[in-house]
Structures are given as structure tokens and as C-alpha cells.
Structure 1
Amino acid sequence: MKCIVAVVIVTLVTGAAAEASVRTCEPIKVAMCKNIGYNQTGMPNLARHTLQADADVTLQTFSPLVQYGCSSQLHLFLCSVYVPMCTDKVALPIGPCRGLCESVYTRCYPVLHGFGFLWPPELDCSLFPAENNHEHMCMEGPGERAPPIGTVSMDMGNSGGRGACRRLIKPKNWVWVRGSARCAQFCDAEVLWDGGERKAAEVWLATWAALSFACTLAAVGAQLACGDRGGAGERALVLVALCRCAAAAGWGVRAAAGRAAAGCAKDSTSPTRMLLAHDGLANPNCAVVFLLLYYFGLAASVWWVVVAGAWRASVLRPPAPTTAASRTNRHSSLLQLAAWGVPAALAAAVLVTRDVDADELTGTCFVGNQSSKSLLALVIIPEAICLLLGCVFLSSGFRAVLRRPAPVPAPSVLLNSPPQPHQDQSVLRLGAFAALYAVPSACILATWVYEYAWRDEWLAAPVPSSEPSTHSKPAFWVFLFRIFATQVLGVMVAVWIATPSLKALWRRIAGPRKQPPLAKCPPGPPPTPLTLHCYATHSHTLTRHPHKYATYRPPQTHSYRKPRHYHYSAGETIL
């Protein structure tokens, strides 16, 4: 037995010596691990790869995790395992210490588990030395980096950490989320708004959303029932109402589901803890509310641009009926693609970047509620472009209207034709609507710019030396006005298109208007005849009426050259 143990020990020592003699240091050729802090490695590595090319292929599989940024030390940890440091003074490769492995495992394993992947066996932390000493040399790592000083926004990027939440107002109401690398607010925490303001905003939102939904639904239904679709501008106007109806339905889904069900989500690290939704894809209700509000709200803005453009085209060059029909058919596909495709592309970009988040005031999921960059890129800029294009079309059309001379009707038209309604009435109504629609849209855009400009200052923790009253807070009326302006757009377009449609529908239901009955003659004996005498040889007989009025009928065969004097038998004279 002793002989066998001795042979095993000798074999292990000989194998280690042979391995040490075979391993030689060589320059690092893996692009991912260059400039990592050392430039020499030796094969085989800690994962038993004998070539750097094999190690490079394995490291490429971790590229999405490195780009995700779950840990600032993940890059060093992977290179120390697959491309370990080599020196001529140490026979064995120098890999990571157990503390470095556990730090990376704590931050990155939830991410891998969320995507359905397991932690690789060759990265098991128990395989690495517990500490760096003269017996087992290993790399401990620089530690997790803190976020840059002065960064106070909730979207800290990939360099965030727990220290970032201490720079926010009321730091006890925030928690650092490793998966999204940002500070998330507790669902019921009162950071910028108190309970009374939340309740008032929710009642205000539900009231105006219900009114907008009912008005737009009735207007679209009346328009479809009448069947008179009109020109391109009128059809685009109906689509604006339809989009506003769908957006109001999104507010209704939020009100029906409740704040917690629509705007909050469970924390991945603590299932019993509820956080304000910062990744809306984790909550189906949140995702549905976002799609209804963002997609159809932006589509309504694009269709309003189409309305303004159609009105400008009708003002500048009024086409003939055949020309208008051919032009509408030719541009209809392009308009449909622009109006539905652009909002769809932006909504897909939001879903891919997982920027759907909830608002603290109303608990409504949108984009940019917690990220200033997303608010600027995905909300302010698209709405500003739509508003600018629409205003350009409106200004061009109004300038053409002011410069156009007033039409003078021909005398034959005035004498022979019956009075016709003004042919430009629908065009004027369309232009008036496009101009009025721009006013609430500009106000909504101003509220978003206000939030973007001051959000970081609202969320920044106050300076200890300053008084608490000096810390700026958002104006509550601005956000209430945003809700009102958003919903009043739907009410306005509904009233605008429903008025003529409801009139036409009422005429169709009621039928043709009945003629009033003729007045009957008063009962009694027939009036006595009235005899008139004149200087001519002709005699005329008129019928006497009760109020001494007579109807004069000139003779058919005689022409009078001068006025004649007629006398009643009672002595009255008629000229």
C-alpha cells in the first residue's frame, strides 16, 4: 500500500514538473484580452484549452454579457481564466482569486439565469484560491467601480452602483437594480409627489380619458354610419380621431388595472419587493398601456401632419375631380406607410432597448418617465418634428389664402343660377381644425421640455448646507395640464368631425322635411265684389277682401301710357 501511494505522489510531482517545463509564456493574441494589465499568457489555461484560438472562441460567447455591463470586473475575470497571466518566475498560471469570482457571480448570475443560461462549470468559484499569498498567487481585481461623481439621474448607465442611489433625493426610497444597472424607486414610495397629489391626478386622468374615449368613439361611429368619406384631408381627420380613441383606451386600461398592477413590477432579487416599473416588458399590463399610448399618440400626430398637408395642397392647387382621385390613389400608400410605419419603428426601438418605464404621479407606463435620454430621443424630437412640419404646411396655406384675390361671380351665374352653398366651406373647416390642433400639441411639447430640463435637479439630493425649502420641486399644475391637453385633443377632433356627420345622419333617419300646410280661408259668406271705375272705357272688377286689400290684374289687350286713377264705389282712390 505504501508503495502505491509513493508511486502516485511521484507521478503527480513528475506530471507537474513536466507541465511546468512544457508551459512557456507567449504574447497575448486574443483581441478581447489585450491591454488588460498584463501581456503574457501560457497554455493550457484554467479551462484546459491548449490554444489561444480555442480560448478566443469561448470568450466571444461572453461578449453580450460583457456589453450588458452586469459587473465592471467581468472582463478581467474572464481573461484571467481563459487567458491567465504567465511569468517565468511562477510555474503555474496566475488566475483569479475566489473573491473576484464571487463578486462577478453575484452580479452576473441573475442576468444569465433570466435569459435561461447556467453558470459555466469551469467558472466555479470553489476552483480558485481563497486569497493571494506566496503559495497560491491569484488576481484579486480592483473592485466594483462606482458611478461618476455628479451623475444623479436614474439611468446611471453601465457604471452605476449602490452609491448612485445615495445621490438621489430620499435615498431610502431607492434600490440599485443590477440587471438594469439603475436606481429603481419603490412602488409606494413618495419621492416627488405625495398621496393627495397622486389621488387627484388619477381622478383627473380617469375623467378626461373617459370623456375623450366616448367623444372620439361616437364621432368615428357617426362618420362610418354616414358613409361620406370626403377627400384625403377628411379621411385623415377620421384617422386622427381613431388614434386618439385608442390612446384614450390606453389610459382606460391603466385606470381599470390600478396603479400597482399597471405601473409596478417585482424585483428579480427579492420577489416580495415591488418596484416602480423600469423595464415594462416584465409587466404585461405595462406593455399594453405603453403600446396604446405611445404608438397611437404618435400616429395621431403624423396623421395631423397629413391633414395639414392635404389642406395646403387643396388651397394652393385646387385639382379637378379626376385629377384629385388619381393623385389620392397614387399617394395613399405612401401616406399609410409613413403614418403607421414611423410610429411602429419607434415603438419597436423602445421595446428593444427596454426603455418602457412608469410615471410616479399616475403609475402610467410610457417612455422617458425615468430616463432623460429616452425622453429626448423618443418623445420630444419626434413630436417636435411633427409639429414643425404641420406648422410649415399651415403657414404656407394661410399665406396662399391671404394672397388669393376674392372671386367675382359672373352676371349670368347671379341671374340664372339658384343660390349655392360656399364650395370652400369644407376646405376652410379643415384648415381651421389643423390650426386649432397645433395649439394643444405645442403646449404638450412644452411640458415635456420642461420635465427634461429640470428632472435632474428635482431628483438630486439637496446640498446639506442649503435650506430644505430651496430644493426645487416640479409644478403639479404642469402635469395636470399635460393630461388635460392630451385628452382635449380627442374631444376637439371628435366635435369637429361629428357635427356635419350627425346632421347628415339625422336627416337620413328623420327623412325629408314635411311642407307646412296651406292656410285655410276664414269661414263665412263670400266677399262682395268691388267695382272700380276709371277714366278709360274699360271696367275692372276686383274681389274685396276683409282687410280692404285688393289684387290688381292689368288688362291683357290694352297698354296704359300714363297712370290711371281708380275709384272705389265708396269714394277711395287707388293709384
Structure 2
Amino acid sequence: MAPRYVMYSVYLLPVIIVLTVKGEAATLRTCEPIRVELCWGLGYNVTGMPNLVGHEIQGDADFTLQTFSPLIQYGCSAQLHFFLCSVYVPMCTEKVASPIGPCRRLCESVRARCYPVLQGFGFPWPAALNCSKFPVENNHEHMCMEGPGEVGVGQRTGLVPSDAATPAVSRIPSVPRTSSVAPCSRYVRHNRYVYVNRTRRCNPLCDADVLFESPDKYLAEVWLSVWAGLCFISSLIAVLTFLVDSGGGQARFRYPERPLAFLALCYNLASVGWGVRAAAGRTAVACSPDTQNPSRLLLSQDGHINANCAVVFLLLYYFGTAAAVWWVVLTMSWFMAAALRWTHERIQQHSSLFHLAGWGLPATQTIAVLVLQDVDADELTGACYVGNQDSKSLLMFVLAPQFLYLVLGASLLLVGFLALFRRRPRPVKITTAAGRRDGKADKLEMVTVRLGVFGVLYTVPTTCVVASLFYEYWSRDEWLMVSSVPRYQPRPSLWIFLLRLFMSLVVGVTAAVWVWSPKTLRAWRRLFYRLGPYKQPPVKCHPIQYYAPPPQTLSSHQRSQHGHKPHRKHRKHGSETTV
């Protein structure tokens, strides 16, 4: 089937030939591509200014057309969309001096159906759309377009009846006002959506720029790749450090420090999810074929996902949620050590409950998302998550849980710090035989302070992530839907989304800092000597013999200082007895 503009050129050819044969000098007209999104896909792609109401630029026409969006959404006439565009963005050809607008029959048909609706709301019929201004019929003197006809009056195909004695230019079809377009007209860029009968929702096209432009997406991908790579390296070092220090039989990182290991593991695997997204590519992860038209790709929505999308979702959502839960476990164990003064052994007794919460709660949330089929793709990053296209899912599965975990962890930190300030416990003084103080109490206090600082620093990026999620939840409908004030159509701030990506990975980037110490360096050195080509030489041990000095060498003064009693000699029966 030939493209529509080719068909329209064929339709216009007889009229242009007539004008040329008669010798009528036609003033050349400059045509330009249509930049008004509301009028894309109507059968012609070029227009000329000024239009039929005197607008000099397309921006003014676009502003005026936006005021008719509520009336278009109401659906009073199936030809209203085409009629408005033919007036404000008329068809243009360089062979015809005047713009080609609507015929009077089209205007009267739309007015008969939509004027009662305007009267009901107290609005008059616009003077700029006075039907007497338009040609009565299409001919070689006054060219006009009759429109697609009203649905239900025999024009379901978008063409005028065959008995209409008009040239073919009046048969310019518009976008069929069927269920695949009309339900999506409430969106600002409705021409970039497809109505899916299976889900009864408007699904954006895979490569459509709905909220963000192509440069924004490229910047986000580079930004995300850098921080995800740093997060992977740093968190991997932290996890390996925990494993190395645990290989000697007694783990150096015990409760309340132990949850740091699982927190680093969660960030490491979440960064792997971003790596899978970058390796597979945006289209392979975020896009799925349309069931109604397999040659067309749509942004994944409502669980209609592919294998790559499922893997990315599981890594990002499960381990991202698990990181939040393990942070709460970390604050809980810190509270037990700092405020309740529990020992490592006593906290260790509750480790099974910690693992049940740390891995069980994220698993429950992930299963719920999969059962409800709320997995969808993000337009900016091309990654699969939940709530990217549905505000209710964003609130239920992302914003509310993250906010709950943040409040719970921050409360434990606050109560723990208050307990430390009110009651500073005296360190237990344990002295050795040499008279030196044991440092176990000081070490426990130092660990408690370090974990408290880490908990506070973790709270800052988590708060930023929750705030950005609330920003998206609160403003998404305003970004997507047609605004009641056409001059002010809000748009999302790219830097807020980039800040969210950074804050969601910064804890993993700094994970290696919290496990670094001289003991860590010695542990890695021992591992290097054990696994490397150069083994550490064995240490030779020699027995040490201690010899007591003979008593004869000590003077009487020295013997008195060492507590030795002087020897007394007794003679008995001629023999000498030494005592």
C-alpha cells in the first residue's frame, strides 16, 4: 500500500494540471513540516503559515489547539480533531497559493454535534470557526477537504461516500477515531501511544520520547553506567573482605557489624542488574512486540515482559529492597549494642530472625509484583522495575515500603543515640597480670560509634531517593495528561532523576570504606601469600631455656633483696648441716 502523501499527490494532480492549462499564474507558497504534535498522522505532513485564522507561526496554532483538548476528549464529533487541524494547520502545496482547509459541510457537521456541548458549559461557538468562511464545495477554484465523515453514518473507513461528486482531494482520511486512538487523546503526546485491548491501557511506543528526549536518555545511560560500575567494584571488595576475614575460623566482623556484609552483597547484585541492562541493550530489555501488530515494539507494561526484562527486574527490585531491609536490621543490631548493651553472643541468638526478615520480606514483595503483573519498563533508563508507568504500583510497591523502612531505621538510630547521650556506660576495666588495661570495651565502643555514623550517612541518600519517588508520584499525571492551562505544560526535571540514580548506588560505592582497616590489609596480605607463587617463609621456633643463677654467686645483700634467708650452719655429731 502506497504512503498516504503519495496518494494525495495523485489526487491533486488533475486539479494542478487544469490550473496550468488555463494559464492561471499561481503564487508560489512556502510549505513547512507540521510541528504541532496534535496534528501528526492526519494524512498530510506539510502546512503553510499564515493559517486560516491568521496565525503566523505554528507555536501560536499549537497553543490555541490545546484549548480544544477537553472537547476532543469528550468526543462530541469524530471529525472534530481533523476539522480543527485543517483550520489551524491547513494542508499546503507549493502549486496552490492559498492553504487548503475544511469544506463548509465538514464545519457544519462538527458544529451541529459540538455546539450543544459548548452551550451546556456556557461557551459560544468560536468566531474563528464560522462555517460561512469556508468553501461550499471542493473544486478547481476553491480546494477544500471534506473530512473522514462521522462514525456510524457509513464512514467507518475514514473516506467520504462514493456518491460525493468531489475531486479526490476531499477524500483525505484522518486517523480513524477508533478505540486505538480515542482513549489515548487525554495524553499530551497521544500520537506516541497505542491502545492495547488486552490491558485496556495506552502503551507508549518503544522509541517514543514521551517525558524525556533522546539526549536525556543517553546522558542517563552514561551516568548510570559509571556509578553502577563503581558500585560493583566497591561492594565486591567489601564482600570479599568479609569472606577473607571469616576464613580464619573466627570472623572479625561480628554482630552488630555483620549486616554490613549482606548490605554490600545486595548492592553488588543490584549493580549486576544494571550491568545486564547495559550489556543486553535498551531494546532487548525494555521493549516487547505488540500483540495486535507484532512488527511494532512497545514499552513493556503490565507484566508483558521478555526474559531480559524479567532478569533485570528481579536483580534490581529484589536486591534493592533487600538492601533497605538489611539496613533496618543493621540499625536494630546497633540499637541492641548501643542502647541495650547487648553482647555479640546475645545479638547472635536473633540472627535467624534477621535473615528471615532480610530475605523474606523482599521475596514477598517481589512475588506480589509478579502475581499482579505490575512489571514495566522505564522510559529514561530502559530498565524493568515496578511503577514506571503506573502511579498506583509506584505508591504500593516502591514509595510506601521505602518510606516505611526509612522511618523504622531512622527511629532506631534516634532512640539509640538518645540512650547513649542520657546514659554513658562506664567501660569495664579488665587488667592483665602485667597491669595493662584490656581494650575489648574500647573496641566495642569504637565499633558502635562507627556503625552509628554509617547509619546516619545511609539515611541521607535514602531520604533523597524517597523524596524523588514522591516527586514522581505527585507530578506524573501532570506531566503526561493535557494541562488545563495550555501555556503551562509541566515537564519532569532530569536532574532529579539523575540524583535518584546516584543516591541509590552511592552506599554501594562507599561500601569498601567501611570495612577498610589495617587488619583488612593484613588479611589480604596473608591470602596473597597463601594463594600466590611466593609463599611466606615458615617461622623457625627455638626453645628458650631459663637457668637460675647458683646461690653461691649471690651476695648476702642480693639474697636479702630477693627474700632469701641466710644459711645457718649447725654442727651435729661432728657433721655440718646446712639449712
TM-score range, shorter chain: 0.5 to 0.7
Deviation at residue 418 of structure 1 after TM alignment:
5.2
1:449 aligns with 2:467: no
Residues 287 and 499 (structure 1 numbering): CA distance in 2 closer, same or farther, change over 3 Å?
farther
Q: How does 1:551-562 map to 2 (within 5 A)?
A: none
Amino acid at match of 2:340: R
Amino acid at match of 1:348: I
Residues 344 and 409 (structure 1 numbering): CA distance in 2 closer, same or farther, change over 3 Å?
closer
Q: How does 1:130-529 map to 2 (within 5 A)?
A: 162-227=181-246, 228=251, 230-320=253-343, 324=346, 328-329=348-349, 331-405=350-424, 407=426, 416-417=435-436, 420=439, 422-424=442-444, 425-463=446-484, 466-467=486-487, 470-499=488-517, 502-506=520-524, 508=526
Distance (whole Å) between structure 1 residues aligned to residue 468 and residue 427 of structure 2: 47
Q: What does the per-residue CA deviation read over 1:78-103, in whole Å, with 9 as the maximum and x for residues that have no partner?
A: xxxxxxxxxxxxxxxxxxxxxxxxxx
Percent identity (aligned):
44
Residues 208 and 410 (structure 1 numbering): CA distance in 2 closer, same or farther, change over 3 Å?
closer
Q: Give aligned pairs, total.
A: 354
Distance (whole Å) between structure 2 residues aligned to residue 332 and residue 411 of structure 1: 29
Deviation at residue 318 of structure 1 after TM alignment:
2.4
Q: What does the per-residue CA deviation read over 1:154-187, in whole Å, with 9 as the maximum and x for residues that have no partner?
A: xxxxxx9742210101111111001111101111
Q: Is the 8 A contact 1:212 1:488 kept in 2?
A: yes
Distance (whole Å) between structure 2 residues aligned to residue 251 and residue 376 of structure 1: 23
Q: What does the per-residue CA deviation read over 1:179-216, in whole Å, with 9 as the maximum and x for residues that have no partner?
A: 11110111111111111111000000111111101111
1:293 partner SS: helix
2:321 partner SS: helix
Tell me the TM-score normalized by structure 2: 0.57
Q: Is the 8 A contact 2:183 2:202 kept in 1?
A: yes
Residues 408 and 191 (structure 1 numbering): CA distance in 2 closer, same or farther, change over 3 Å?
closer
Tell me the TM-score normalized by structure 1: 0.57
Q: Is the 8 A contact 2:239 2:264 kept in 1?
A: yes
Deviation at residue 414 of structure 1 after TM alignment:
12
2:288 partner SS: strand
Distance (whole Å) between structure 2 residues aligned to residue 218 and residue 415 of structure 1: 39
Amino acid at match of 2:277: R
Q: What does the per-residue CA deviation read over 1:366-389, in whole Å, with 9 as the maximum and x for residues that have no partner?
A: 000000000000001111111111
Deviation at residue 420 of structure 1 after TM alignment:
3.5
Distance (whole Å) between structure 2 residues aligned to residue 206 and residue 412 of structure 1: 53
**1:110 aligned residue:** none
Deviation at residue 480 of structure 1 after TM alignment:
0.4
**2:162 aligned residue:** none
Q: Is the 8 A contact 1:301 1:383 kept in 2?
A: yes
Residues 502 and 171 (structure 1 numbering): CA distance in 2 closer, same or farther, change over 3 Å?
same
Unaligned runs of 5+ in 1: 1-139, 141-159, 515-554, 558-575
Distance (whole Å) between structure 2 residues aligned to residue 410 and residue 497 of structure 1: 27
Unaligned runs of 5+ in 2: 1-151, 153-178, 530-535, 540-556, 560-579
Distance (whole Å) between structure 2 residues aligned to residue 281 and residue 232 of structure 1: 43
RMSD value, Cα: 2.9
Q: Is the 8 A contact 1:226 1:504 kept in 2?
A: no
Deviation at residue 432 of structure 1 after TM alignment:
1.5
**1:107 aligned residue:** none
Distance (whole Å) between structure 2 residues aligned to residue 200 and residue 396 of structure 1: 41
Deviation at residue 453 of structure 1 after TM alignment:
0.2
Q: Is the 8 A contact 1:295 1:343 kept in 2?
A: yes
Q: Is the 8 A contact 1:223 1:501 kept in 2?
A: no
